[in-house]
Amino acid sequence: MAAKPVASSAVPPSGSSPQARASRAHLALKPPTGHRPNRQLDQSPIAVLRQLPALVALDSIPVPVLATEHDGSILFTNSAFGEMLGRRPDDLLSLRFDQIFHHTAGPQALVSATHAVTNMVVELIHRDGSIVRALMSRSILRRADDRFILSAFRDLTTHLWENER
């Protein structure tokens, strides 16, 4: 079923110039607000994936992800990372990595660790003050000129706690 045309109040009804009439005619054919044509039906799955915004994809995956600048400022965390630390992702954006990483030696330690060849176990600080042990990947971005560090995490706390018994 076709969408009903919607008139917009953005163009005042006064004015009978050809430009004003053309503008009103164009707006009369505009679909209702919030309705977007489904362009995905005409595209291949890989084309849709290529157009998917990176932050939407990163926030949707169930793997904890953290992006930090080289100076330790937190640029992005997804919901899974926030959940792992008992915090909302937006609350984490006001912190620095040394406020959530336990026993860090400064920004250079983070840069060195994330550019290491292998993954490493890190200790993070949960909102309640407890330690969360997680496997942190080396930076997903590996070029020397990358301006931020993007790492994925796997919470090992329960696994390590059970093995230490």
Q: Supply the pLDDT for residue 159.
A: 77
Q: How far is CA 2 from the centre of its chain?
A: 35
CB 101 within 8 A of CB 121: no
The sign of the dihedral angle between the CA atoms of 8, 10, 13, 15 is negative
116 vs 95, more confident = 95
- In single-letter form, the type of residue at position 4 comes to K
- What are the structural domains of the chain? 56-155 (3.30.450.20)
- Please write the tens of the pLDDT for every residue from 15-52: 445 454 444 443 434 444 555 555 556 788 888 888 88
- Please write the tens of the pLDDT for every residue from 88-101: 999 999 999 889 98
DSSP 111-140: HHHHTSSS-EEEEEE-TTS-EEEEEEPPPS
Percent of the chain residues past pLDDT 70, beyond the cut: 61
